[in-house]
């Protein structure tokens, strides 16, 4: 059983709002902030997509149209597996004894096996949970988001985020995908909403080879990268509202 630590949210949300551009959050003062994942999405020029399509064309001897359909299928499948693993982790961290219900026939990977590994890792390393799926924001950053979990990881209070991956990811790959900036953003949002500072972030990468790889980082190491991203986002907004 996970122990829970009480916390007080000083600045609560009113509601979340979803648009074709992404996820936004309305604060009690009426401010509308984008989620950190929406910021990354809007700034992604998707240069990688063309390379991915070409690699699928070559690997599977497909036409470009067929490869694009396959890429969409792979992306949707990976997202759905990630959603189920998030549900399994959330359910477990909330000390629920009921199993997460889903249709196993819809997936190309044994989610139950991955879920067992993930739960075992959480049992071994996580405790004193502040909460899971916590909606947070920062007036200073004009940014919002939902943190997967805030708890002690190996005895240190941490922002914990779960990532599903078809292949093992190195720490440098995680950095390139902005995973650590995302943790840093949640850390600053948590401090804004509660007054409590958290210095450590943990990405748990659940890969389809049946392993959970934790990457532990100091959030302060990614503050400059996060600010650079937010400056680019402000430029993006300015260019797209003219």
pLDDT in tens, 150-174: 999 999 999 999 999 999 999 999 9
Q: Coil, strand or helix: which one is 27? A: strand
pLDDT computed for residue 101 by the predictor: 67
Beginning with the edge strand found earlier in the chain, give each strand of the sheet holding 200-207 in spatial order. 126-138, 143-153, 156-165, 200-207, 211-218
204 CB-contact burial (10 Å; exposed 0-12 / middle 13-18 / buried 19+): buried
Cα–Cα dist 65/88, whole Å: 35
CA separation for the pair 180, 186 (Å, rounded): 10
**30 vs 196 pLDDT, higher one:** 196
Task: Count the alpha carbons within 13 Å of 118 in the hemisphere toward its beta carbon.
Answer: 29
Window from 4-13, 142-151, 153-162 with minimum mean pLDDT: 4-13
Q: How far is CA 107 from the centre of its chain?
A: 21
Q: How confident is the model at residue 7 (pLDDT cuts 50, 70, 90)?
A: confident
Q: How far, in whole angstroms, is CA 233 from its chain's centroid?
A: 19
From CA 132, how far away is CA 49, in angstroms rounded? 32
> CA 191: distance to chain centroid?
18
Q: How far apart are CA 85 and CA 87, in angstroms?
A: 5
Residue 147's pLDDT band (boundaries 50, 70, 90)?
A: very high
Residue 1 has pLDDT above 70, yes or no: yes
**16-20, 30-34, 105-109, 215-219: which has the minimum mean pLDDT?**
105-109
Note the pLDDT of residue 27: 86
Query: 84 exposed, middle or buried (CB, 10 Å; 0-12, 13-18, 19+)?
Result: buried
Closest CA to 86 of 162, 31, 195, 19: 162
Quote the tokens at residue 182. Answer: 């995302």
* Helices (H), ranges, the chain: 36-43, 47-60, 64-93, 111-125, 171-176, 179-194, 223-239
- What's the pLDDT score for residue 47? 85
Say if residue 88's pLDDT is above 70: yes
CB 122 within 8 A of CB 89: yes
Confidence at residue 28, expressed as pLDDT on a 0 to 100 scale: 82
- List, in order of start, the domains of the chain with CATH numbers: 13-239 (3.90.320)
């Amino acid at each position: 059983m996970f122990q829970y630590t009480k916390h007080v949210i000083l600045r609560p949300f009113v509601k979340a709002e979803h648009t074709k551009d992404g996820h936004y959050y309305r604060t009690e003062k009426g401010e509308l902030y984008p989620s950190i994942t929406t910021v990354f999405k809007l700034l992604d020029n998707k240069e990688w997509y063309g390379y991915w399509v070409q690699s699928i064309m070559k690997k599977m001897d497909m036409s470009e149209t067929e490869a694009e359909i396959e890429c969409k299928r792979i992306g949707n499948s990976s997202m759905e597996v990630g959603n189920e693993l998030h549900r399994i982790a959330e359910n477990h961290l909330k000390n629920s004894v009921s199993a997460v219900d889903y249709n196993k026939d819809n997936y190309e990977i044994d989610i139950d096996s991955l879920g067992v590994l993930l739960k075992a890792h959480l049992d071994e390393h996580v405790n004193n949970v502040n909460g899971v799926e916590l909606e947070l924001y920062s007036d200073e950053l004009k940014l919002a988001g939902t943190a997967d979990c805030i708890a002690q990881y190996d005895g240190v209070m941490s922002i914990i985020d779960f990532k599903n991956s078809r292949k093992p990811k190195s720490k440098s790959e995680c950095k390139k995908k902005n995973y650590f900036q995302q943790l840093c953003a949640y850390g600053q949002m948590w401090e804004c909403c509660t007054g409590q500072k958290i210095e450590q972030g943990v990405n748990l990468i659940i890969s389809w080879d049946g392993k959970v790889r934790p990457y532990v980082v100091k959030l302060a190491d990614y503050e400059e990268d996060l600010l650079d991203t937010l400056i680019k986002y402000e430029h993006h907004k300015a260019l797209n509202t003219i």
